[in-house]
Structure 1
Amino acid sequence: MPSPDIFQHVRIIMGMVIGLSVTRLLNGLVRIIQHPGQTPLYPVHIGWVLTLLLMLVHFWWWEFWLIALPSWTFQTYLFLIVYTIVLFFLSAFLFPDTISDYAGYEDFFLARRRWFFAFFALTVLFDLVDTLIKGPAHYAMFSAEYWFRVPVYLILCGIAIATPSRRFHIAFVTVGLLYEIIWILRHFETLS
């Protein structure tokens, strides 16, 4: 079977899981808008929701490069499905079914930050493997910045797991979101 046909099959399954992730985040945001006084908001939480929405949209865009894979294996397919599942878990960590055990999103986020940032670190590692799967021509377009970016994100996730410092979390999500926007605009504006 030609690689593009396999890619279309894999893309449909990945799309279902990514669609569930986006739906979870959008439903959470709509719930906040519909019931603004129900649960106290936390800007860091909202920042990570926006960051993850951007990551999900970006993921869907950059995975188009998989169409150029010369051959597919079950391991590649399984890797991609697990990657999308990790992204779904991040969405679920930001908007669980209920946060009634917590005083608000700040209390919830800080209490559950270890899970969130452990999975966020996993996405960084999955992105690294995903980049390598796409081949030398793909990862060569990122220069040394990519190889600096990966360990920095892993270190920041480790700090985020360890510290409940509100200043650190505000700085991390602010710089992280701005950097992601700039990274996408510099590297992924077009697929060529």
Structure 2
Amino acid sequence: MYADRVFRSPAGMAGGVLLLGLTVWLGIDAAVRGDGRTPWFAVAVLLLAVPLIVAFTLRPAVFVNDDRVRVRNPLRTIVLPWAVVEDVRAGYSSEIFTKDGEKYQLWAVPVSLRQRKRAARQQARKERPRRGDGSDIQVKTPQADQAIRDMRLLAEVNADSPGAQGEVRTRWAYELAAPAVVGLVLLVVLLAIG
């Protein structure tokens, strides 16, 4: 058994850090320098925006090991032992299917159609070289497709192992939802009282 392998979207994380930094900078500036109700609006927007930015950009991750896959999506975490996994696929999005017919999105493994097209062009060039034998062309598998293959292989190999048995467990991320709801309520109240 090896330590958890983690799949994340580097572009999503980088965008999230930039967006979070900009939001916090502008929000704190408005809260400190603003007058009238501006500081309250800034606090409400920060309470609403920061948890949502964290949830949708920094939080998503997929952790896999020999026993299970843990899918950390924006507002919930799903733990799936390999024994309950029917299939792992990547079409327009990455998805994991259980034997009960449930489907879970893998937010942390985004599918890039551009990378797929590039890989298909490289494969076509390798199969029909114009000059030389084409053996020098390296076909790079898209990152999402490689992650899906790895997870599918783990599911097939480990489905019968004793540690991979169990039920699907789901936990909601109340620590992110609660401040966002408070911020939304505060923003609505501030807008209502004008």
The TM-score with structure 2 as length reference comes to 0.32
Q: Which has the higher strand share?
A: 2
Q: Which has the higher helix share?
A: 1
Based on CA coordinates, which of the two structures has the bigger radius of gyration?
2
